[in-house]
Amino acid sequence: MPRQPRLDLPGIPQHVVQRGNDRQPCFFTDIDRQRYLQDLRELALKIGCQIHAYVLMTNHVHLLMTASHVGRVAQLMQSLGRRYVRYVNDRYHRTGTLWEGRYKSCLVDGGEYLLRCCRYIELNPVRAGMVADPMDYRWSSHRANARGEPDLLVHPHACYLALATTEQGRCAAFRELVMSGVDAGETEAIRLTLQRQHALGNDRFRAAIERQLGRRVGPAKLGRPAKVKESAL
């Protein structure tokens, strides 16, 4: 049975995960991580994708991005994957594949769903027991989104910008959201949606996607998300 094409619509954010082959490491030193982020910045700019959140784990990568044209996310991931594999094989005198087949992706609704997806991504090192606070993990977008540290890769989404009228206020509101944590049900729903490559959002969002693509894009409901408070700062 042929596999279904990816869910891909212009202007709709996508949560992407790519894993090392057989869950083996894809990053061995900080130099590798720096190289991956450098290539990601260059290719995202060239191809036309905006990165809103990311985390580099030892054996996989999470990205949240938006592209203005269909096919650009796939183009970015394919170009980035090939370039990084060449780098790793040359540096470590190895051959063969590095990644575990095709990357996984799902469409993400705006508003609370997008912010919660950012939170899920940036809390990966905490769930893995690598750090107690995502601020202590260098290889993610959290310091940019929650503290305002310069990061040329991160392009704030409109939903993030709507958190407050100032950078300080947005950082404070986002930090509060992230540190409120993710319960087990929400974590499992996001994982399942990504694994099945469905759409993460409310019923109206999924119905709109289904009308455009003519195929089912659910379930995996998260319920009605709690309202994120705007900072008064």
Q: What domains can you pick out in the chain, each with its CATH number?
A: 14-213 (3.30.70.1290)
Q: Report residue 81 CA to chain centroid gap.
A: 16
Model pLDDT for residues 17-35, shown as the tens digit of each residue: 999 999 899 999 999 999 9
Length of the chain: 233
pTM (2 decimals)?
Answer: 0.91
Q: Tell the residue number behind the tokens 């997008």, with chain if given.
A: 114
Task: Give the pLDDT confidence of 105-158 residue by residue, as tens digits.
Answer: 999 999 999 999 999 999 999 999 999 999 999 999 999 999 999 999 999 999
DSSP-assigned letters across all residues of 64-96: EEEESSTTHHHHHHHHHHHHHHHHHHHHHT--S
Distance CA 144, CA 135 (A): 10
